[in-house]
Structure 1
Amino acid sequence: MLVAFSSVDKIFYTFLAAIGIPVDLLAILILSRGKCGLSSCTTRYLLAMALSDLFVIITEVILMQINHYYFPICFLDITPICSVNAVLRGAAIDCSVWFTITFSFDRFVAICCQKLNAKYCTVKTAAVVLATFCIFLCFANIPIYFTYEPESITDNVSWFCHTKPDFYSETGWVRYNWFDRFLTPLLPFALIVLINALTVRHILVASRVRKGLKGIDPNDYTEAEYIFQQVGIMLRNLSCCTNTFIYAATQSKFRGKIKATLSFLVP
């Protein structure tokens, strides 16, 4: 059962990298030109999301998942290197998730808080918010580097990243692990549900008002647990790698730019 799932896992990540990289690069190209019918503030958020999504593909999908299947042992498995990649991978995923939150909150303010809209939904505010979250999330993931120890040492070279036993028992590490889980995905999940629910509620209330005005009526896992965990990771990575393109593709002018770019690249 696990062998069959590993084959599915391998195909999934290969396909995700093959699709995700050109899709995110295309989104970055179009958004950076700033001529896709979006406000400068919205464009700034989507561009940051696209860059973080691309970084997730590089660190998580290619350097982690695909490397595991196609190159079981390579220089990326040297302990210091895989420890650094773990930090970069965690920071990329966190940025992808939280940039989506900041974008959703910006849209919530634009739609539901007209008095705050003019002050908050600006390019300057977007730059400050994105930079603040990026710096904080990068620093928040640095401790991950120190959670690993070599699995083996060959010719004075440390290989692979094995989680230190103290990580599961020492009070400081246990608290950090809970903080990391709270930071992503528990708090973001709660926030995205809350923000979207409030936004939808505002839209529905405004719609009912308009209709009223018109006179209209209103670690040790079983196989099943392991597969469940891996499916969850796959879905998370799929979301992180493609969410920017999905958001932007809802805009007609953005879709028009995609068609124009593709027609130029493919005569």
Structure 2
Amino acid sequence: MGRAPILYLKEIGYPIVAVFGIPATLMTAVILSQGKCGLSKGITRYMVAMAISNLLVIIFHVVVQEILAYYFPYSFVTQSSICPSHAYLKMVTMDYSVWLTISFTFDRFISICCQKLRHRYCTERNAVVVIVSICVLSIIKFIPCHFMYEPRFMIDNTWWGCKAKSAYFTSVGWMAFSWVISLSIALLPFFLILLLNGLTARHILVTSRVRRALKGLGSGQNQSDDEIDNRQKSIILLFAVSGSYILFWMTISVTFLSTRIAANGFVQSYSNPSYIANEVGMFLMHIATSVNTCVYGMTQRKFREEVKKVVKYSLTPFSKLIKLKLQLPRSQTGK
């Protein structure tokens, strides 16, 4: 029998996510933190926090879990004493990343749709309070993760791996906690992103039509309107960010819902459709965390200019080295 196709996803896809995701999110955080992209201080705070949280997700979910633990099954990260802490950090970082995205989307919703609240809510101070509060809530929310696992097997007097205790599938308390995880990380954020971006896009379209009618642009006149142009760019931006989020998270949200309602889990077999759907959903979810902030940043002209500067500065030593090597044969020939 041939190898299961899902293994190629794990062995090829995740290293690609790590190789491209880590430099991209790190570069995004550094560029945004310099405050040269023309964004408000509040937005900058949100985006830097999102980039850092996405970087943590890539480290704990992709590098540690999907690469180190996969290729080195008997390393320190798979020991039973470390496994629960790693599982806890995975859930905390993913939850933090997801709710930062929602908080940022809500901030943009208030800024565009609620002009009376805009100047009071969309401030740098409120952004910092929200970012810190979400971090604290994520840390507290998943404390039970430390107590839900037990060692999987023993080799040479050392316990390896961890699995959920049997009570996790029978106890009412643990089943409720399981639903909290699903709702907090996948289901509720998915629908909130849809709702907020839908309301924002609708508000932009309605106000743009009203503005065109008031300025006489609805009769076919080709006059320029900076306000309408800015709103159209905002729609494109919203569709870029929310579209990528919804596309990448749709599979894992459906899988979470179906396994919780239909079977309350699935058999971990490479040929099991539920397992395959879950793995594909997790992979797309990890891609979303690595590209979402970068997608938003690349829609901003000044951010693109800063990226070009970073790339040019990074490639300068290599270009000088290549020129030097090309000049050496010529100088030797001249002698």
Partner of 2:297: 248
> Whole-Å Cα distance in 1 between the matches of residues 313 and 184 of structure 2?
42
Partner of 1:259: 308
Q: CA deviation at 1:68?
A: 3.2
Deviation readout 1:147-206 (Å, 9 max, x if unpaired): 110011334432101111110001110111111111121111111111001100110001
Higher RCO (C-alpha 8 Å, min separation 6): 1
Partner of 1:143: 144
> Whole-Å Cα distance in 2 between the matches of residues 139 and 225 of structure 1?
30
Query: What is the RMSD of the two structures over their aligned residues, measured on CA atoms?
Result: 1.5
Aligned length: 267
Partner of 2:276: 227
Deviation readout 1:223-248 (Å, 9 max, x if unpaired): 22221111111111111122111111
Q: CA deviation at 1:69?
A: 2.9
Partner of 1:71: 72
> Whole-Å Cα distance in 1 between the matches of residues 289 and 144 of structure 2?
22
Q: Is the 8 A contact 2:37 2:306 kept in 1?
A: yes
SS in 2 for 1:80: coil
Structure number with bigger Rg: 2
With normalisation by structure 2, the TM-score equals 0.77
> Whole-Å Cα distance in 1 between the matches of residues 49 and 5 of structure 2?
37
Deviation readout 1:104-155 (Å, 9 max, x if unpaired): 0111111111111111011100010111111001111121121110011334
SS in 1 for 2:39: coil
SS in 1 for 2:92: helix
> Whole-Å Cα distance in 2 between the matches of residues 30 and 225 of structure 1?
40
SS in 1 for 2:201: helix
Partner of 2:223: none
Q: Is the 8 A contact 1:27 1:245 kept in 2?
A: yes
Partner of 2:320: none
Partner of 2:59: 58
> Whole-Å Cα distance in 2 between the matches of residues 2 and 194 of structure 1?
41
Q: Is the 8 A contact 1:2 1:223 kept in 2?
A: no
* Unaligned residue ranges in structure 2 (runs of 5+): 221-265, 317-335
Partner of 1:11: 12
> Whole-Å Cα distance in 2 between the matches of residues 247 and 253 of structure 1?
12
Amino acid at match of 1:52: S
* Unaligned residue ranges in structure 1 (runs of 5+): none
With normalisation by structure 1, the TM-score equals 0.96
